[in-house]
Structure 1
Amino acid sequence: MRRALLAVGVVLAAFALGAQTPSERWTVIRNGAPAGSAPARLFGEVETIDALSLCDALGIAYQRDESGRYILLIPEQPVTLVPDGAFAQVGVEIVHFPLPVVRDGVRLFVPGEFLLDLLQRYAPGTLRIDRAARRIKWERPASDVLELEAHREENAVVYRITLAYPYPVHLEPVDSTRLELVIEGARLGGGALTISGDSALTARVLWDAKRGRAVILSRVPLYGARLQGPDLSCRITVRLQPAEENGNGSLAYGDTPVEEELREAKRSWRIDKIIIDPGHGGKDPGAVGRKKTREKDIALDIGLRLRKALRERSRAEVLMTRDDDTFIPLGERTRIANRSGGKLFVSIHCNSSRNRRAHGLETYFLSPARTERAMKVALKENSVIQYEESRDQYKDLTEENFILLAMAQAQFVKESEQLAALVQKEVHKRTRLIDRGVDQAGFYVLIGASMPAILIETAFISNPNEEGQLRSKAFRQKLADGICDAILEFIDRSGT
């Protein structure tokens, strides 16, 4: 694990400094007509292609999520790319690259062989690649509706429709046995479409190519119809409920009530429970200063002070992974947070370095390390596993599995980074410690947290001056108050 993560960091650093050689452009011919091109760059002997320009030329949609990841919406096989990451997620599979993904303004350069192989495997229709001429010829299917399948549920029939592109869609009922699914901008073939699966409820599905809609003719009167999607796999779902199973009345229809779902999600994610995690404890002393100051004692004292401040200044419930000198395995800490329904996870530590001049404050969130310094800090904190009786839970934590876990937590990356930045600002304001900034790294203690999670390195216990500060109750109170200020500002910004 250590070697793998360190190797990734070395590659990232070398790649960022390496020479970029201008190269040709890849041209795209779509259904016999020129459709655009994508720039390519050589990094050493590896050709990279701008994935976003290539998608534009091919007519493949993509989006950037709140955590900064790019998702190429290839039908049934969405691809996730992370700037600076030397990997991609294709469905549930992780594909490794010889070089990291590079974002350059509006361009996203990805190893070309990966992109070309991906398109050849998953793009609908017929795709031919001429590598010598740097040309892609794509004959798209005649219809943008690639598949329609049906299955029965307890009181409904569900249709899943796969599109070639995430077109806007909505439902328009005609009468109790007929409704129209409008797919804006899609190319549809004429006639009826073969339905796979259980279609007993439906007589026919007809395509009205001129008006860009599907006409669903039901054998029985309908009580309700709901539409969801398109999702990242370019699928839409239509749920039909027969009147005979739901009582009489007019046909109720519409899209999924997104606004209400968002309101409910916001209610369920009100930040009403905060988990404080004092690092180390018990048989694990953490770092030890020249005056025998132990990190575990400092972290616990700051944690207790933070709990008191939060209870006095907020309405949130505040829990601690430990409130005495107890050893808690790294993996158990986030399990405690998840089991208790935590909404924020704050792990408190003291920094340490062989260089006794190193000083200042830094805060981390979970993601593959971008710098060698961040990697070293993570390796120091992860070394706690030497005190655990069983290390089986870590034996499969290879670089690949770590990436999967980090990406699973990526839905909270933006919030985690925001909280980390607020902690840096507020603690610096209270203590005047040097601000070493916010960074990301692979801390075991943050893996698995189903909530925004950060790890704060409050000061260097290895620095004689900062060790002296950490031994001061007044200084530890300033640290706790600064973290509290940051959490309260984060809650206020979240509107919860």
Structure 2
Amino acid sequence: MTRLFVFLIAFLLIPVAPQAQVPDAPVADFTVRHVGGGRSDTIELRQLAAPSEEWFISSQELSDLLGVGRFWRTDVRKLVLRIDDRRVTFTVGARSVVGNDETIMLRQEVLYFEGEAWIPLEFLSDVLPRLSDRQASVDAQARTLSLGERRLNVLGLEVSRGGDQTELRIRLESALAFRVDDSRVRNLVIKIYGGALDPGQIRLNTAQGLVDAVRARQADGYAYVEVDLSQLASRYQSLTEDDGKTILLRMEQAPVTLIPEPQPRGTYMVQTLPPEQQGRDVAVRRVVIDAGHGGGDLGAEGLNDLREKDITLAVARQLEKILERRDNIEVILTRDGDESIGLIERTEMANRYKADLFISLHCNAWPNARARGVETYFLSPAKTEWDADVARKENAGVRAAEDLDFMLWDLVQNAWIQESATLAEEVQSRLSTDLGMNNRGVKQAGFRVLVGAFMPAILVELGFVTNREDAARLSSPAFHEAAAESMADAIVQFRARMDAIRERSR
């Protein structure tokens, strides 16, 4: 009797997988269009997770729809589908979907209803493209589902070698924003925004030149191409060819001397102190990001109806999100909408909030449409006529740059000139290297928006709205995110340098 009692208690304590207790669950017929196949089917879906309006598809219907093998274990409530070359596992009561070694989370749990597993429809639209070469789109209002092969836009890979130089080319269907992560030794990772690829096509198993191996992976909204190097490269460049349809990674083995590319009306490359002499006790915890222009001040206007004020705000918002969520750095925006703010008010805001850094975002414009690329400034009297012209444009509405009160600059910003130059170099290096943009260098000029900042302060010109290649980038939300990621990396690197200096001074 005692044994029976213990057995009953143990049985009652066994966890029971969630069941959909919705006897009157809404039912709807969805039309399935097979893209490229010319046929259509009808499937029955249910809303089983009230009050959620998520639709669910039965595991049997799902396996029939995809034409894949199905294995259902009633005892442990697990479902396995064989999709292409992946073993995809669902568990009733769980939100996780396991495809080989990759785990992806659904928003809704897998449910048990009428003797089988029911899968949230989001699996088809959000997860299936990550696990296979198929894609699906759902229009719940129209009760339609389109199913077909995933359209690839990362098409191929070529590696060539000549002397001490190795070039890697990634062919794209159309121009896409990208950035290069070089944070790991002998490894470069190219993140392609909006990229879709077949990892089997984008790979290299036989070493060529500096490239030891190449592999690729697909993520939600991004494609990654990872390059292993056989030895340290003395430098690399990321460029584009064929109107952005080819990403070019050029790596060099032997030390080379960097020669600045000739630019319209000249540039001034900043000479900074040795690393052991750079910086003071700067702890980067709070950053003010200034989206240039706004309100009635449109800023530069260029191709494709681009307006500087819109671009700077979009990038500022992305930078705020990345720094706060990823790097635990507090961010204050001088404006978070289309509003007009005076130049003096922007640095006053940074001082009032006791910011550790001030970064003002802008875009360039020039009558010569060939002018292109990114450049970063810190406050000092202009060294070239080009720098003075850029400052005059950004200082519109206040006294001209040559009339600025540099006594104020001497008293305030001069105390931070070395840190500002160091920050400018970090940002300029990341933007030009990660994004494959023309590197116009670090410069100095009399920008009114930087005057009076009691902290390291820089102004970033993100590209030319008057150049076709730059304008295409500046109009892309993917580029806004990529540029923000690069600047966030630069800020984190600057913080690490300042932390190291502080440690040495103890």
Q: Same fold (TM over 0.5)?
A: no
User: With structure 1 as the length reference, what TM-score do the two structures score?
Assistant: 0.43
Higher helix fraction (1 or 2): 1
Taking structure 2 as the reference length, the TM-score comes to 0.42
